Amino acid sequence: MSIPTMPTELRNAARRAKGFMPDAEGLALFETAAEYGTRGPICEIGTYCGKSAIYLGAGARQAGSVVVTVDHHRGSEEIQPGWPYHDPSLMDHRFGKMDSLPTFRQTIAAAGLEEEVIAVVGPSDRVAALWNTPLGMLFIDGGHSEEPVTKDYEGWAPHVTPGGALVFHDIYPDPADGGQAPYRVYQRVLASGAFKEVRHTGSLRVLERVGPGIG
């Protein structure tokens, strides 16, 4: 099977967008979306400012699919004031809270992906409780501490269709490289036997559903 090519203008838009997705991992995300988006819609948990949604949206366009990206847009723990990844330009001073939604909307509009990328604004676990559509691909990249990443996995992984993909970002086997909560959940997934790993690019892991349950 030939490897899809991400259009140059969309790749450049993704590179310019605010966010934390390295380009090599973003391209892997695009290729995964182009492949698995043919099996159902794509869901992203953790939108932030839309950088990864451009890679996903470009893949969804090639697959004839869509991306539903879920985020409360108030920021995960690591981007709050006083934390290393905090961006003061995203503060809504009227409420004293982070608000990445306006920047996300501008990012997706500028990339020309408003038809492919659909924003759902709300807590991941509350949205998951209402969700019923089988997913061709699920990308988990929301909060990176134990509770949110566990809730994201338990709430959304059951919706991944047989043969669909579950993708994790920021998987660091060595604690010196990054936080361990996503890695522990990733290990739990592999131990369950419901998914097998099919791709590894940087901190990105792509798993394919091969059995029932999530473990």
Q: Is 197 exposed, middle or buried (0-12, 13-18, 19+ CB in 10 A)?
A: middle
Amino acid in the structure at residue 85:
Y
8-state DSSP, 204: E
- SS3 of residue 79 by DSSP: helix
CA–CA dist 41, 178 (Å, integer): 30
CA 129 to chain centre: 18
Marked catalytic residue, from 72, 73, 93, 144: 144
CA–CA dist 46, 96 (Å, integer): 21
Residue-by-residue DSSP string for 145-167: SHHHHHHHHHHHGGGEEEEEEEE
72 is catalytic: no
CA–CA dist 37, 106 (Å, integer): 24
CA 4 to chain centre: 20
CA–CA dist 82, 102 (Å, integer): 22
- Please list the active-site residues: 144
